[in-house]
Structure 1
Amino acid sequence: MFSHLSPQFHKGRILKREMLENLRDYPRHLAELHFLAYTDGIISGMDVAVEDGQLVVGRGIIKHQGRIYLLDREERLPYEATGKETMLKIRFDEQTTLTDFLAYETHYVLDTNMDIGTDERELGRFKLKEGAKLRSDYPYFLDLTTEYNTWNFTNVEYAGQQYPTLAPAILRYFSHELLKTKTTNAFDLAFATQGINAERVERDLILHYIGTRLGFGYRASSNPQIVSYLGRILEEAKSGDKPKQEWRASGRQRVIVD
């Protein structure tokens, strides 16, 4: 049954092993239970910025093979211009046994091998020309996918309730740009509200929105395909084109035959 145990430390009382085990296990169990329904992927943070010739990986939480990893300090990695597509990976090491701990460590790798192993997760990628400057700022939504000299995180998997989903920053970029078009489409407004306010937007919701808005129905799609579809929606909203499927009030319809 449910229980809540809080150790009581009193002067003159014997410090018992069970009291220390409670302090050790409670935070870990709480985190594991809170994120139990989430898939593997980034849960929070882990944003990557470009500063002074370095990639700066922010603090965050990531889940891999059901295990929760916490990064409580930012990490910096120098990068080079090679002209080749390069991926920043977080690599999960095998378990090691220390005197007082079982350790599951990680380290970062900049790799031109674009395949992802079972012990790796992608944090982003870039293709930097010699003499160019890498950037992580995006003046418009589809600039996220610019091939050269731009930090690209569209392929990164974030933990979802059933399937991995897209980085929340992608949906925020899209939602803010969509609202600037002054769209009055009900689907656009509802989705943009989710994209801006929600901690994450589940993959199924994104796919249902895209399928409804573009008229081809629910369709499983990769992250880059999703970003491309969202770009099409923005172009339609900017040009004032009507969505392929619209909600219409019920009522009598007239058909005029010439």
Structure 2
Amino acid sequence: MSVYSKKVIFERGKILNIDMLKELQESSKDFFRIKYHSYSNGIIEGFDFKYDRNGNLKLNPGILKYKEDFYILRDEITIKTIEEFKEERKEKILFITLMPQVLIIENNIEIKSLKLEISEKLIEESLFLGSFVDRVNHPPKLDYENIESLNDKIYLNVLDRVYGTIDGEGMTPLIGKLLLEKFLKKETLSIIEMYFFNKGVNNKPIPKKFISEYLGDISIEKNLFEEFLYKILAKTNNEYFVKKIPEIKKEEKRKKEWKSEW
């Protein structure tokens, strides 16, 4: 077995043959297969939401792995236009998902696809991208103020997204990014908190198993991401409060001493 390098040579006046076209196709597919071979199923890059200059909600291009196959979204998708957000309707939760389609074959090319769906119910076989409460003239917010915002209904909810990582199923990069606010208030960080800190700085998802380890004796299979968030908040808020108690008491003592001097 040899390790080799192949390069398609383009010559003036020559027509691309079948072998050259096949090599061009396979080389790009090999890149994804090799780079993300050990990744779990889930979003690998992209698929972020944004508003364009006109206020339309859009989904950015991205790469994901689903049942060991790689899928690429090459262009932006409009989720809802600003005009649609102004339409009169009942307040309800809308789910944005990708739904596997029936395999088709065109010109000897096998095509597997995932179709974007917006529905009032979460379909069992679909891939969750996000959800929001559909309110008239109130598009969901995307700029999360803090980690508590991830479960606030005025924001677009991406908490239950599944990300593919080399260390197994991961949670949204926003967990690490928004935890920075908590960690910056601490004098020292544990090794695992430093790991979360670095993930947040680099906007990378945190594998579920490390969050489980951080929380202590938590079953990965039996906990939804929302439960993980509640436990993370309980842990970080409690640690911050415990750390602050001596400082509060010290400040109160100083004030009493200052008053007694007068």
TM interval, shorter chain, is 0.7 to 0.9
Tell me how large the CA RMSD over aligned residues is: 2.6
Q: Is the 8 A contact 1:90 1:109 kept in 2?
A: yes
Q: How far is the alpha carbon of 1:173 from its aligned partner?
A: 1.3
Structure 1's 201 and 102: CA in aligned 2 closer, same or farther, altered over 3 A? same
- Give the direction of change, closer, same or farther, for the CA distance of 1:14–1:184 in structure 2 (3 Å limit): closer
**68, 75, 78: which one pairs with 2:77?**
75
Q: What are the superposed Cα offsets for residues 160-180 of structure 1, whole Å, 9 maximum, x if unpaired?
A: 235321011222112x21233
Asked if 1:135 corresponds to 2:141, the answer is: yes
| Whole-angstrom CA distance in 2 between matches of 1:129 and 1:27 | 42
With over 3 angstroms needed to count, the CA separation of the structure-2 counterparts of 1:60 and 1:53, relative to structure 1, is same
Task: Return the alpha-carbon distance in structure 2 between the equivalents of residues 130 and 55 of structure 1.
Answer: 14
Corresponding residue of 2:47: 46
Deviations, residues 206-225 of structure 1 (Å, cap 9, x unaligned): 211122xxxxx343232111
- Measure the CA separation in 1 of the matches of 2:157 and 2:4: 46
Partner letter of residue 152 of structure 1? Answer: N
TM-score of the superposition, structure 1-length normalised?
Answer: 0.79
- Which deviates the most, 23-32 or 93-102? 93-102
Q: Determine the structure 2 residue equivalent to 1:99.
A: 107
How much identity, in percent, do the aligned residues show? 18
5+ long unaligned stretches in structure 1: 212-216, 243-258
1:12-91 matches, within 5 Å, as 16-50=17-51, 54-78=56-80, 82-91=90-99
SS across alignment from 2:171: coil
The 8 Å contact of residues 82 and 127 in structure 1, kept in 2 or not, is answered as no
CA gap of 1:121–1:222, structure 2 versus 1, over 3 A, is same
Distance 1:101-1:189 versus aligned 2 partners, 3 A rule: closer
Q: Which amino acid letter does the alignment assign opposite residue 49 of structure 2?
A: V
CA distance in 2, matches of 1:210, 1:24: 45
Compute the displacement of 1:36 (Å). Answer: 1.3
Determine the C-alpha separation between the residues in 1 that align with 2:12 and 2:51. 52
What is the aligned partner in structure 1 of residue 181 from structure 2? 177
Letter in 1 for 2:19: E
Superimposed CA distance per residue, residues 184-206 of structure 1 (whole angstroms, 9 cap, x where no aligned partner): 24243443234323733222112
Alignment of 1:212-251 (within 5 A): 217-220=217-220, 221-241=223-243
- Taking the aligned partners of 1:86 and 1:66, their CA distance within structure 2 comes to 28
**Paired AA for residue 219 in structure 1:** S
**Alignment correspondent of 1:5:** 6
Displacement of 1:89: 0.6
TM-score by length of 2: 0.78
Conservation of the 8 A alpha-carbon contact between 2:176 and 2:203: no
Q: 2:248: which partner in 1? A: none
One of 111, 130, 136 as aligned partner of 2:119: 111
Determine if contact 2:58/2:78 at 8 Å carries over to the other structure: yes
SS at match of 1:240: helix
When residues 162 and 94 of structure 1 are mapped into structure 2, their CA distance, relative to the original with a 3 A threshold, is: farther
**Post-superposition shift, 1:99?**
2.8
Question: What code does the residue aligned with 2:190 have?
Answer: A
Segments ≥4 residues shifted beyond 6 Å: none
Aligned length: 233
Q: Distance in 1 between matches of 2:169 and 2:139?
A: 31
Query: 1:11–1:128: structure 2 CA closer, same or farther, 3 Å change rule?
Result: closer
Q: Is the 8 A contact 1:91 1:107 kept in 2?
A: yes
8 A contact 1:87–1:126 mirrored in 2: yes
Distance 1:14 1:99, change over 3 A: closer
Query: Structure 1: which amino acid aligns with 2:62?
Result: G
Aligned-pair distance for 1:11? 5.5
